[in-house]
Amino acid sequence: MAAVAATHKLRLETGAKLNLFLRVVGRRPDGYHELESIFHSLDFADDLDVAPRPGATIAVEMTSESGGAVAFPPAEENLAYVAARRLQEVTGSERGAEIHIRKRIPLGGGLGGGSSNAAGVLAALDELWELGLQRSRLLEVAAEIGSDVPFCLDGGATCLVTGRGENLTPLPGPPLPMWFVLGLSDRPVSTARVYGGLAGVPRTGPAVAPVTMAIGAGDAAELAQLLHNDLEAVALQQRPELREHKEVLVAAGALGVGLSGSGPTLFGVAPDESSAREIASKVGTSFDRVVVASSAPNCVRFA
């Protein structure tokens, strides 16, 4: 049985996340920031094929949805590659892997696309290389790869995320999927640059509890009023066009508009699917791409 499992190819989807709430609550000696954030998984996803490969080489290929080449980050910045290498290092495995990613989630968009690719690679190679790593060990490796990777690996549908991103408290998700309109940009932002632009740690901010209640009740109108992101002011300074793009989403019918992560992705909250599609049809010219997405049960989904 094990030999069969070790040679087959795994196909999975790795989904984007939204930050429905993000407060920066402290600065750490290592330069990172302490967060209090609500992460929410989306059905908008990349496709991954992961297969074992003879020798120890890790080969990663990325294409767009239509099959064309994607501007490829260098290996050391490609989190899918980094995840596979790190797994080799921590387990001493000398097995190789072939990873093909069909990219839909923009790179550097604040949607955790690279992080969810990395989480998918960790989950797939743990199985294909028959590593049998404890979940807690896999989560430690995830945290080393990037702050958002633990959520993508194990956060489920909706999570309160604290620390640098490693402390996960699952929250009740909405009873039915919630609907969002994502305004995407092909021009990535540097997360480090956005954090670096913070004037300091805000002393106060809104409470997270009302947001968790709105999500748990599936109350899109309430949630839309409570969206908050401490990184938004910096992102708006660095990308002034986002201010106008927020207004465009509201004018098209979004109940509220938030920035995901460090941006530049903006998301409008919609009351239901048909409204989301109507909003999307009206805002197309303001963004490089507009996508309608809804809540998903988790980020890493095996086919």
Beta carbon of residue 193, minimum distance to ligand C5P (angstroms, whole number):
8
| Angle in degrees, CA 44, 179, 49, rounded to 5 | 10
Helix axes 113-128, 79-91, angle to 10 degrees: 40
Contact 276, 180 (CB under 8 A): yes
Stretch that binds ligand C5P, among 29-37, 92-100, 213-221, 251-259 (CB under 6 A): 29-37
- Describe the strand order of the beta sheet including 266-270 as a list of residue ranges: 256-259, 266-270, 179-184, 289-294
What is the C-alpha to C-alpha distance for residues 103 and 177, in angstroms, rounded to an integer?
A: 23
Q: Which residue is nearest to ligand C5P (CB)?
A: 147
Q: Which residue has the tokens 């069909």?
A: 102
Q: What SS3 state is found at 38?
A: strand
Beta carbon of residue 38, minimum distance to ligand C5P (angstroms, whole number):
14
Contacts with 63 (C-beta within 8 Å, 6 or more apart), sequence order: 69, 70, 100, 101, 102, 103
Known active-site residue 148: yes
Quickly list DSSP for 176-198: S--EEEEEE-SS---HHHHHHT-
Q: How many helices (H) and strands (E) does the chain have?
A: 11, 12
Beta carbon of residue 189, minimum distance to ligand C5P (angstroms, whole number):
11
Judged by CB under 6 A, does residue 72 bind ligand C5P? no
| From 46, 103, 126, 148, active-site residue | 148
Among 23, 33, 95, 245, binds ligand C5P (CB under 6 A): 33
Judged by CB under 6 A, does residue 234 bind ligand C5P? no
Q: What SS3 state is found at 10?
A: strand
Give the C-alpha distances (Å, rounded to integers) separating 271 from 176, 178, 223, 254.
Answer: 12, 8, 10, 8
Beta carbon of residue 232, minimum distance to ligand C5P (angstroms, whole number):
15
Among 32, 73, 213, 272, binds ligand C5P (CB under 6 A): 32
Judged by CB under 6 A, does residue 286 bind ligand C5P? no
Known active-site residue 219: no
* Percent of the chain as helix, strand, coil, to the nearest 5: 35, 30, 35
Judged by CB under 6 A, does residue 120 bind ligand C5P? no
Among 108, 109, 120, 146, binds ligand C5P (CB under 6 A): 146
Beta carbon of residue 282, minimum distance to ligand C5P (angstroms, whole number):
33
Judged by CB under 6 A, does residue 117 bind ligand C5P? no
Number of residues that bind ligand C5P (CB under 6 A): 11
Contacts with 161 (C-beta within 8 Å, 6 or more apart), sequence order: 35, 36, 37, 38, 39, 151, 155, 167, 168, 169
Beta carbon of residue 106, minimum distance to ligand C5P (angstroms, whole number):
15
Among 12, 16, 35, 231, binds ligand C5P (CB under 6 A): 35
Judged by CB under 6 A, does residue 108 bind ligand C5P? no
Q: Select 146 or 268, whichever has its Cβ closest to ligand C5P.
A: 146
Judged by CB under 6 A, does residue 264 bind ligand C5P? no
- For residues 187 to 216, the per-residue mask of contacts with ligand C5P, x marking binding by CB under 6 A and - elsewhere, is ----xx--x---------------------
Q: Contact positions toward ligand C5P, by CB under 6 A? A: 32-33, 35, 146-148, 164-165, 191-192, 195
Which active-site residues does the annotation give?
17, 148
